[in-house]
Amino acid sequence: MENINAKYVSQKISKTRWKPVSYSSLQQPDVFATGSWDNENNKISIWSIGNNGSSGTDDGFEGDPQLLCEHKHDGDVLDLQFLDQDRIVTASSTGAVTIFRHHQNSQTISVSQQWARAHRYPCDNAPCTGVVCSSPEIVTVGEDGRIIVFRADQEGVNRVIENADSSTIHAVTFLRTTEILTVNSIGQLKMWDFRQQSNSPSQILSLSGDRVPLHCVDRHPNQQHIVATGGQDGMLCVWDVRQGSTPFSLMEAHSAEMWEVHFHPTNPDHLFTCSEDGSLLHWETSSQSEMPSFLQGGRNNSMMSRSAMAPVGGNQSLISAWLSGDSSKGRLETSHMLPSQTLSVNSLDVLGQCLVCGTDGEAIFVNRQIPEDAGVKSDRYTQLCDWWSVGVILYEMVVGQPPFLATTPLETQLKVINWKSTLHVLPQAKLSPEASDLIVKLCRGPEDRLGKNGTDEIKAHPFFGAVDFSSDLRQQAAPYVPTIAHSTDTSNFDPVDPDKLWSSDSDGEDDLNDTLNGWFRNGKHPEHAFYEFTFRRFFDDNGHPYSCPKPIEYEGYDEDEADGEGPAQEEAAAGGSATQGRDLVYV
């Protein structure tokens, strides 16, 4: 396994984490942090596998991790996460939560902030077992069964959920911005919604049969309903938190406790696990016809290969291979990523094409050439994906609804994947030929997408024929200037009746959305149509739209005569009866 560099560090490593890099850049990670445990003096350390700050290779081989700086840590480091580029948050066996700052210019570490005894029993400290960060928020869990929310920009505690669990909470991760997942020592997976003031979980899932402790959890980066966990029995469990209360798939993984599980952050068809049995496994979802070489020199004949198992009657329509129960279509191939190990692999982290892990054997292992299809692919995303987005936004602006409109996120994804057959410019929208042509040239494959040869070919499109790009666009008069009565005037937005949205199957004007002509006087939207409306992403709440308050009612308004100046209008002027409001969804 010549791609792996090992560094013996004379301390047991409990946690390893890569310093984050921008996904939009081509940069591979080159700095990582480690924490130690079960040593006389524990430390957090910053290491480099690049050239910044390295002191040469006098005490090691070229490519070995080089120590940049370190700092004493009180107690065992039970978890470690980067808050941002310069700050690291640790969870200690003393119950403390500490923010360390890495000073890159001087290559030193200092304590930036600390909450001592954040986790505690009535008469003693309770180990803080897990931490997750979404700057500036920090969420920690512990043996005391408490969930604590901190903010890096505040000294005090933001929120505490006392007695969140009657057993030890071993790990925590964000499901969404306002929701977290925790796993505990009795085999339960709990969801918590911070928007609720209740101190009870919003959902509880659990392993059936024996209550096997769960030690780790990770969420699929793209499909947030898919969650992977590992525990004392070494099994890999994959859950669909939208359905049922038990794991969707159970797979034999390790012969002892699984300490960590991580989806690859940018290519979640790949997953990595490590265990007390000294192994580190790479899992890949693949078809039987695709047998990629995981390691240089080909597939290791001694590595394990198993098919995913799923409960009978599982939902086969799900597109994620992690939830596929059909072994003839999808398989999980596993590969050993380390040479023979006898001591526990406690922690791992993967970013781009780089993987790092720490062991009880007082060694750090770094692999900078994990399979290319498991990392940042050679055909990386480029600015061309932004031109696709421009086409989608343009469609929605001129047509009035998204181009891949569907009732669920799954249907939307399938429509996007099959854009060649699902993308249609609706004739009811009566777009100009130039607008239709621009949309279809932006929303197509990257090999012939408009913009492939630079922005000039987009500017030269006939749609922009009246735009003078040679002068300052901000100084030019806009082709349309809306009338805005006041700062909260939303009358220029069209209301949308969810039951009458245009369908790509429609071919007549009878299907046209008639809300402007039928519901509001003179085709005008009420000025406060967005009253108490809060924007949320489509994929929140499993893609279900959020209903808003009923629109403002017009007295004496008769929708049957909305198009004319008949008696209904005259009666309205005289103050007639009110019309019942209708529930609308504004998107």
Reported as a single tens digit per residue, the pLDDT across 413-453 is 888 888 888 999 888 888 999 999 999 999 998 888 998 88
What per-residue confidence (pLDDT) applies to 26? 59
Tokens of 348: 């791992």
**DSSP label at 578?**
B
Instruction: Please give the DSSP secondary-structure letter assigned to residue 392.
Output: H
- What distance in Å separates the CA atoms of residue 114 and residue 138, rounded to the nearest whole number? 12
For position 362, what pLDDT does the model report? 93
pTM above 0.85, yes or no: no
The string of pLDDT tens digits covering residues 60-70 is: 555 689 999 99
> Mean of the per-residue pLDDT values for the chain?
78
Identify the DSSP state of 331.
Answer: E
**pLDDT surpassing 80 at residue 530:** no
- For the ranges 301-305, 315-319, 419-423, 430-434, the lowest mean pLDDT is seen at 301-305
For residue 210, pLDDT over 80 is answered with no
Residue type, 228: A
Question: Which pLDDT score, from 0 to 100, does residue 138 have?
Answer: 97
DSSP letters for 140-170: EEETT--EEEEETT-SSEEEEETTS-SS-EE
Q: What is the C-alpha separation between 325 and 247, in angstroms, rounded?
A: 12
Burial of 466 (0-12, 13-18, 19+ CB in 10 A): exposed
Residue 165: per-residue pLDDT? 95
For residue 50, the surrounding DSSP H or E stretch is none
295: left (phi over 0), alpha (psi -120 to 50) or beta: beta
The rounded distance, in Å, linking the Cα atoms of 319 and 309 is 16
Lowest mean pLDDT among 43-57, 144-158, 273-287, 323-337: 323-337
Which tokens hold the place of 141? 């869990």
Per-residue pLDDT band at 117 (split at 50, 70, 90): very high
Q: Which domains does the chain have, with CATH numbers?
A: 4-311+319-374 (2.130.10.10), 382-480 (1.10.510.10), 482-587 (no CATH)
Please name every residue paired with 72 in a beta bridge, in sequence order, or none if there are none: 43
Percent of the chain past pLDDT 90, that is, above it, reads: 46
pLDDT band at 368 (very low <50, low <70, confident <90, very high): confident
| Structure confidence at residue 370 as a pLDDT band (50, 70, 90) | confident
- Burial annotation 565-584 (CB, 10 A radius, 16+ → b, else e): eeebbebbeeebeebeeeeb
Q: For the chain, how far is it from start to end, CA to CA, in angstroms? A: 53
Q: Which residues contact 469 (CB under 8 A, 6 or more apart)?
A: 459
Q: Quick one: pLDDT band at residue 86, thresholds 50, 70, 90?
A: very high
Question: Is 111 a residue whose pLDDT tops 50?
Answer: yes
Question: 466 and 479 in contact (C-beta within 8 Å)?
Answer: yes
pLDDT class for 25, splitting at 50, 70, 90?
low
Q: Which residues on adjacent β-strands are paired with residue 273?
A: 261, 281
Asked if residue 75 lies in contact with residue 43, where contact means CB atoms within 8 angstroms, the answer is no
Pairwise CA distance, residues 257 & 188, whole Å = 16
Q: What tens digit of pLDDT does each residue of 489-509 get?
A: 888 876 655 555 444 444 444
Contact 35, 73 (CB under 8 A): yes
Is 80 exceeded by the pLDDT of residue 403?
A: yes
CB 408 within 8 A of CB 539: no
Answer for the pair 90, 44: CB distance below 8 angstroms, yes or no.
yes
pLDDT band at 83 (very low <50, low <70, confident <90, very high): very high
Tell me what pLDDT residue 578 has: 39
Given a contact cutoff of 8 angstroms between Cβ atoms, the answer to whether 561 and 579 are in contact is no
**What pLDDT sits at residue 546?**
41
pLDDT top residue among 471 and 314: 471
305 compared with 490, residue with greater pLDDT: 490
Residue whose C-alpha is closest to residue 217's, from 119, 146, 130, 297: 130
The H or E element spanning position 390 is helix 384-399
Cis upstream peptide for 127 (omega within 30°) = no
Q: Work out the pLDDT band at 41, boundaries 50, 70, 90.
A: very high
Higher pLDDT, 358 or 383: 358
Q: What is the pLDDT of residue 209?
A: 73
Bridge partners of residue 286, in order along the sequence: 331
pLDDT band at 456 (very low <50, low <70, confident <90, very high): confident
pLDDT band at 146 (very low <50, low <70, confident <90, very high): very high
